[in-house]
Structure 1
Amino acid sequence: MTRFQRRRFLQFASAIGLAVGLGSLTPATRPSYAQAAPRKLALLIGIDEYTNPQIRPLRGCVTDVELQRRLLRDRYGFADTDILTLTNGEATREAILGAIAQHLVQQSQMGDVVVLHFSGHTTRDVIADGNCKSGDCWIGALLPTDAELWGEEFPPSAITRSDLEAALSPLATNNLTMVLDVLYGGSFASNGSGFAQERSFFKGVLLAASTVDQLSAEVRLEERYAGAFTHTLTQHLWQQSGTESFAEAMAAVIPATEALARENRIVQTPVLVTARADDAQQPIYFTAPLVPTETSPTTRPSARSVTRQNHC
């Protein structure tokens, strides 16, 4: 039986303000000669507001999109025209699947770099296909802005892990990074033990904010909220002077995210799941960062006192 949950909030009393991105950089353009540089495509989705008033709103998902957009554009050389964002009412089931097909699948070629980010509500259900020997084999589903309430099955508008597999399988490139700042993140790559499996169901790399049975936190910055995982990940990458692999970056991001949650008696452990054995050693986002021209912005919370709100 599915249960509707939401990301749990951590409200900080005071904090340093959200970052202002670096000065505009010249957008990376695709050369016209035969040995074209890899194109960098991103689809960033953040949903704080749901059309059904019975679904509680979130607070930091749209901010997550902005943090990720600035990082990809100013630190990793993604062109503005190659970054598509869908927020709140724009992020319907039809729009999300259509953007995956048209912006990512149809435009990407072999060797290109693709990033798919989702921050918002999710749900999960037990797999009933006979492959699991216990009741802890889960499959996750993203909830678009037009999600309905439901009973014992996924709502019709849910985008299940199987839907994502089908939508992303035609990608010509294996250089896909999928970032899910959601609860039950491991349910998008789980096995019968209930923990994230060694290999991803998707091409490339999955970075999930939590394991199959965990909530995910939102931190309050000075004026806005952000997902604890997205906040920690983007701020860590802003501070690096050179190229880091997925494994190296997550070795720092995982304990930093855990610490924010643990201090407030919430257990949240981000996970790194790969499709190929050597993907964890590839540069994060499958591309090297640009050399920074200014001091990197910081948005680290400066206080630990919190008010926690009950989840649905």
Structure 2
Amino acid sequence: MARISRRHFFQFAGSTLATLGLSQLNIHQQAESYGKVLAQSTPRKIALLVGINKYSSQPLRGCVSDVELQRHLLIHRFGFNPKDIYTLIDEKATRSGILEAFEEHLIKQAKPGDVVVYHYSGHGSRVLDPDPMVVSSSNDKNGLNGTFVPVDASLPVGYPEQGGVVKDIMGHTLFLLMSAVKSDNFTAVLDSCYSGGATRDRRVRSRDGGSKVQISPEEKLYQEKWLSRLNLSREEFVRRYQAGVAKGVVLAATDPNQTAADAKFNGFYAGIFTYLLTQYLWQQTSTVEDAIAYAIQNLPKEYNQTPRFEVKVASGYEKQPIYFINNPSLLANAVITEIKGNKATLWLGGFDEKGLADLANGTVFTIIGAGGRSSGKVTLRSRNGLIGIATVEGVVAPGTLLRKVD
């Protein structure tokens, strides 16, 4: 199994995010007081999903799709309440917006035992930190550090001839933020990279950087603020950083020397790693180890990226159910997201690219009921990317899971 080392993870994860769930029980209607007791003891599931396409330079095309792929999976397969999923898309995903959302939605709300998911799809970069908290071989010979790139982290005017500061967020910062989350059931999914180029139908998630670009003073002050809040000296931070991942599980799109593809599929753009991962999880009850193995096996060689994972040292989390959720919903190809009369809108995230191509007008789905029994029929009438329009027979509601009839 390809496993990312702690050193390599933070080199990579700094370019996106750095450094994982128990399930929410279905409580049948019983005595009201008994139900309240059970509800109070049920772990909450919360997520923060970030996707950025609209960079002022080097724009991307599949990051917002990644957020939708992850959001539908978490709601309909893993039982997240839509109100507990906070999304930051494009212009809202500024440096301050991301940091504030992480603090308010994850750090302040998560309690011990809760399920916490963070997803980042966007550019990564590598920039100079003149005063790094940790100096190691994970920095290249010019002392560059991995970052992830908010929508407002533009390159200096006159770059590359002239240098300056950028509003990037460093891996060191995100290690501190994740250290502040009160639950170890934390999964980070990182679909980004730190270098590369582009072709017509395939781009890589990398904003230019280099030794002429420095991290901002605000970023360094923010790190100092969190050292103080966590009551950590620099020496203690370095010790913890070098010991391993701050929390739970990290799933990364590539190793540190590769590029993460932002690619065109059958009618839509997405990160190939996010698409493979989420499509697989609609179809399988999986561990971290197995999910990454699937992504590695099914990622076309021309993309030249090897997905990786890391878990908290000696935790055994790689063999735990993914997202730490033991009882996800039934396996499915698709889900009904909206009903109007006998017309339904479908999310088709459980199909791989070939499966999508094989869908045609008249394709029939069965409605998955309790225990996997079919209780009706849905007939596809049209498809646009991952969204289908269908007619329905029987009484159905949004959130109904579907399987294609073989």
Q: TM-score with structure 1 length normalisation?
A: 0.74
- What is the aligned partner in structure 1 of residue 273 from structure 2? 229
**Equivalents in 2 of 1:103, 1:134: separation in Å?**
31
- What is the aligned partner in structure 1 of residue 74 from structure 2? 72
1:33 to 33, 37, 54: 37
Residue identity in the other structure for 1:253: A
2:53 to 45, 48, 54: 48
2:126 equivalent to 1:124: yes
Match of 2:50, SS?
strand
Match of 1:169, SS?
helix
1:127-146 to 2 correspondences below 5 Å = 129-132=134-137, 135=140, 139-146=145-152
**Equivalents in 1 of 2:283, 2:164: separation in Å?**
40
> Which has the larger Rg?
2
- What is the aligned partner in structure 2 of residue 157 from structure 1? 167
**8 Å CA contact retained: 1:220, 1:301:** no
Match of 2:305, SS?
coil
- What is the aligned partner in structure 1 of residue 326 from structure 2? 288
Residue identity in the other structure for 1:301: E
Residue identity in the other structure for 2:250: L
1:176 to 179, 186, 193: 186
**8 Å CA contact retained: 1:42, 1:104:** yes
Distance 1:148 1:68, change over 3 A: same
2:255 equivalent to 1:219: no
**Equivalents in 1 of 2:25, 2:91: separation in Å?**
28
- What is the aligned partner in structure 1 of residue 367 from structure 2? none
Match of 2:247, SS?
coil
**Equivalents in 2 of 1:208, 1:168: separation in Å?**
16
2:153 equivalent to 1:147: yes
Deviations 1:263-290 (A, max 9, x none): x3x4100110111321111111111243
1:300 to 342, 352, 355: 352
- What is the aligned partner in structure 2 of residue 205 from structure 1? 249
- What is the aligned partner in structure 2 of residue 104 from structure 1? 106
**8 Å CA contact retained: 1:77, 1:289:** no
**8 Å CA contact retained: 1:28, 1:78:** no
Higher-helix-fraction structure: 2
**Equivalents in 2 of 1:299, 1:293: separation in Å?**
12
Number of equivalent positions: 258
* Relative contact order higher in (CA < 8 Å, ≥ 6 apart): 1
Match of 2:53, SS?
coil
Deviations 1:128-161 (A, max 9, x none): 6543398468632110011120469884310110
**8 Å CA contact retained: 1:218, 1:226:** yes
Distance 1:76 1:153, change over 3 A: farther
Match of 1:172, SS?
coil
**Equivalents in 2 of 1:60, 1:207: separation in Å?**
18
Unaligned runs of 5+ in 2: 1-14, 17-23, 28-34, 196-240, 335-347, 356-406
- What is the aligned partner in structure 1 of residue 214 from structure 2? none
Q: TM-score with structure 2 length normalisation?
A: 0.57
**8 Å CA contact retained: 2:245, 2:313:** no
Match of 1:139, SS?
strand
Distance 1:302 1:118, change over 3 A: same
**8 Å CA contact retained: 1:208, 1:270:** yes
**Equivalents in 2 of 1:153, 1:131: separation in Å?**
24
**Equivalents in 2 of 1:207, 1:154: separation in Å?**
32
- What is the aligned partner in structure 1 of residue 20 from structure 2? none
2:304 equivalent to 1:267: yes
Residue identity in the other structure for 1:147: A
Higher-strand-fraction structure: 2
Distance 1:62 1:178, change over 3 A: same
Aligned-residue offset at 1:254 = 1.9
**RMSD (Å) for aligned C-alpha atoms:** 3.1
- What is the aligned partner in structure 1 of residue 296 from structure 2? 254
**Equivalents in 2 of 1:237, 1:120: separation in Å?**
22
Distance 1:178 1:294, change over 3 A: closer
**8 Å CA contact retained: 1:113, 1:285:** yes
Which is further off, 149-158 or 167-176? 149-158
**Equivalents in 1 of 2:287, 2:54: separation in Å?**
34
